Structure 1
Amino acid sequence: MTITEAPEILVQKAQGVCGKMLEDHAGNWGMDIHHWDWVPGVGVISMLEYYEQNSRQELMEQLINWARQNLHQSEQMKVINSMAPFAIFPALYRQTGDAVFLDTAVRIGQWMLHEAPRTREGAFEHTVTENASFPEQVWADTIFMAVLFLARLGRLTGDSAYTAEALRQLELHLSLLQDEETGVLFHGWNCIAQNHMSAARWTRANAWIAVGTPMILEEIDGIVPGDADIIRRYKRMMQGLLAYQRDNGLWNTVMDQAGFYPETSGSAGIAAGLLKARRMGLLGDEVLEPARRALQGVLAQIDEDGTVLGVSGGTPVMPTVEAYNHIPCYPSLYGQGLTLILLAEALAG
């Protein structure tokens, strides 16, 4: 069974989605790629995924130029949520041999190992660039925004300290966030109150780990032994997610709330995770049909100019489940990015 009978449509859509990300969106927080934070970070990670699928050298050159142009901003943004752009540095170093990419990555990796704030369980505290503090809070977002970088740095350097920490963080996040009843993840965990706060089964939170876990496991394969508990929890999570998929192929912004709006970025991330995990043998062919339906649902949300619609805005752990349904939707690099990762994975086969 194939994901689509018309790969040329996927190519066209991917080119449009990627092209929209590279346009001048100066001053638009959601779409401006020329700043240093998680939003452009997801954008450049996704473009690297797309490059690895089609090997268009001009796209790699754009990533190299982006990193050189914007690296100076990173020193003022040393928080967990702004680690995301560094995830492309190992690939940039392999391409260029430029020591700035290696040296910077190692310096940031050492900061993460030895200085980044942690909760009492040892998980990375989810620190952000905004003027907000979330003391001893664990968010699913951290796996994609920071732990993926550590895994890639471990692959680049051969230093098992990075890969071991990536595995440890993945295990901690899964164990702290997983709903034992349904298998899916809550958005966050408060280590002080010892609860999941509003206990929202937020779709995009699940997406960060759905797609981030196979990306991380692929990087650390052969470097450190795998973790059976991580695999068990991940499989349970992915199977649990299938129970909440809607007839349109998407997941609602809070997946167990039938009246909430469908959300494109989280749905794209979950579908990409299904395809990646299946390709790696973590999941079987039974996920192809749900992934195909999700892909069709996401494709319907891509506008003619490449803009991905139906993407909820930046979302902290909200005080109530109902509050998630009031987050406005607008185009963003993370919506474009998760969609581009899905399209790249679908094109890969």
Structure 2
Amino acid sequence: MKILDFAEHYINNYKRYKEKWNYEDGCIFKGALDLYKATQDKKYFQFVLDHINEAITEEGSILKYEVEEFNIDNINCGKVLFDLYEATGDGKYVKAIHKLYEQLKRHPRTEEGNYWHKKIYPNQVWLDGLYMAMPFYAKYEKEFKGTNAYEDIYKQLKVVRERMFDDEKSLYYHGYDESRKERWSNPETGLSPNFWSRSMGWLLMAFVDILEILDRETSQWTEIRDMFEEAVAGVLKYQDVESSMWYQVIDKPEEEGNYLETSGTLMIAYGILKGVRLGCLPDCYRVFGEKAFEGTIKKYLDIEKKELGGICGVAGLGNMPYRDGSYAYYISEPILPNDHKGVGALFMAYGEVLKLTSDN
């Protein structure tokens, strides 16, 4: 119940991450809906409804959203619109869903068919973007068009597996530049230099949320499930024995300055726990997700201060000031309490804890 006390305080004192449509708010809204589904407490649903209604007009226009930015992050906040439409029947949510899908129809792609992360990052694929877009894409296709795009979704994930997975480490690199023009990219492979825990979290959440949506009898579901289980098995090699968390730079726990990071750990925990609940992972994996969740709460959640600590504020590749993907870069980004990415992941992961407990 202490976690729900924190959640209630957080939504009662909520401030938007930006005064425009953004993925960070989307993390909180998705997490709040997960808590609603797990608890049936309507305050979580009402919180999402109120804030989304501030951002969407009756005509389905979205607050300060520009399709021409071709920013894949902007798709993330649209995931909750499906639930709101199902619950209310209000057509403005469908109109907004269609506007976001228009972006995906026109979004630039690499030569191999993957969505660019952003227009300002040409030819680049980041693990983050898979979570931002693919579950929305899968849900849209299932609700409005059938299963024609399942193969496109699978192919994009398969390219990421082929280009970004390291067989020796059993981890995925954060980014890939097909053009090899970015300074951070390896001139031979196009890969960024390191393995970032939150990017692995984004990936596992993408996998499991897609698996929840896709029809299980399809070949694509089976192939994606296999990639998901492989990725989970890989990340478990690096779970800290004492805390059950994961480090910011996931494979370098002994390096100076590295730290146990909250958002990546909770995203991974969510992926594992939901994977077990959906039957995408064997039951024996459950303990790893539960220990990761409990370890994070023990280390970083201060109930009295209403504060969740240990969250990397942001990490990316390129742009200015230039982010080179080095180890030194990842540990240099500010650690921010109560950042939306970490709190959203907390809500999502706790929703899975509650659902698994209730199922048993």
Decide: shared fold, TM above 0.5: yes
1:330 to 298, 315, 336: 336
* Alignment match, 2:4: 14
Name the CA distance, whole Å, in 2 between partners of 1:237 and 1:158: 30
2:131 to 128, 131, 144: 144
Name the CA distance, whole Å, in 2 between partners of 1:35 and 1:21: 18
* Alignment match, 2:248: 253
* Alignment match, 1:201: 195
Q: Residues 163, 34 of structure 1: CA spacing in aligned structure 2 closer, same or farther, 3 A cutoff?
A: farther
Deviations 1:62-115 (A, max 9, x none): 2122112013324336521111110111111101111111122123213302x1
1:281 to 266, 279, 282: 279
TM-score of the two chains, using structure 2 as the length reference: 0.85
Aligned residue type for 2:281 = L
**Contact conserved, 2:36 with 2:45, CA < 8 A, in 1?**
yes
Aligned residue type for 2:245 = L
Aligned residue type for 2:24 = V
- Deviation for aligned residue 1:272: 1.0
Q: Residues 62, 17 of structure 1: CA spacing in aligned structure 2 closer, same or farther, 3 A cutoff?
A: closer
Name the CA distance, whole Å, in 1 between partners of 2:190 and 2:284: 31
**Contact conserved, 2:141 with 2:147, CA < 8 A, in 1?**
yes
Q: Residues 166, 66 of structure 1: CA spacing in aligned structure 2 closer, same or farther, 3 A cutoff?
A: farther
* Alignment match, 2:59: none
Name the CA distance, whole Å, in 1 between partners of 2:155 and 2:54: 33
Name the CA distance, whole Å, in 2 between partners of 1:24 and 1:280: 31
Aligned residue type for 1:20 = Y
Deviations 1:278-299 (A, max 9, x none): 1222221221222222112111
- Deviation for aligned residue 1:168: 3.3
Name the CA distance, whole Å, in 1 between partners of 2:173 and 2:81: 30
SS at match of 2:274: helix
Q: Which aligned pairs between 1:49-60 and structure 2 lie closer than 5 A?
A: 49-60=34-45
Equivalenced residues, count: 329
- Deviation for aligned residue 1:57: 2.1
* Alignment match, 1:263: 261
- Deviation for aligned residue 1:201: 0.9
Q: Residues 164, 56 of structure 1: CA spacing in aligned structure 2 closer, same or farther, 3 A cutoff?
A: farther
Aligned residue type for 2:21 = W
**Contact conserved, 2:70 with 2:118, CA < 8 A, in 1?**
no
* Alignment match, 2:63: 73
Deviations 1:12-41 (A, max 9, x none): 30341353144143xxxxx63753111111
- Deviation for aligned residue 1:322: 2.3
SS at match of 1:312: coil
- Gap regions ≥5 residues in structure 2: 57-61, 181-187, 318-322
Greater RCO (CA < 8 Å, at least 6 residues apart): 1
Q: Which aligned pairs between 1:200-219 and structure 2 lie closer than 5 A?
A: 200-219=194-213
- Deviation for aligned residue 1:253: 0.3
**Contact conserved, 2:109 with 2:116, CA < 8 A, in 1?**
yes
TM-score of the two chains, using structure 1 as the length reference: 0.87
Aligned residue type for 1:294 = A
Name the CA distance, whole Å, in 1 between partners of 2:330 and 2:291: 24
**Contact conserved, 1:186 with 1:199, CA < 8 A, in 2?**
yes
Aligned residue type for 2:251 = D
Aligned CA RMSD, in angstroms, stands at 2.1
Name the CA distance, whole Å, in 2 between partners of 1:345 and 1:22: 22
Name the CA distance, whole Å, in 2 between partners of 1:227 and 1:20: 36
Q: Residues 51, 155 of structure 1: CA spacing in aligned structure 2 closer, same or farther, 3 A cutoff?
A: farther
1:157 to 140, 144, 163: 144
- Deviation for aligned residue 1:176: 2.7
**Contact conserved, 1:18 with 1:340, CA < 8 A, in 2?**
no
- Deviation for aligned residue 1:204: 0.3
**Contact conserved, 2:179 with 2:190, CA < 8 A, in 1?**
no
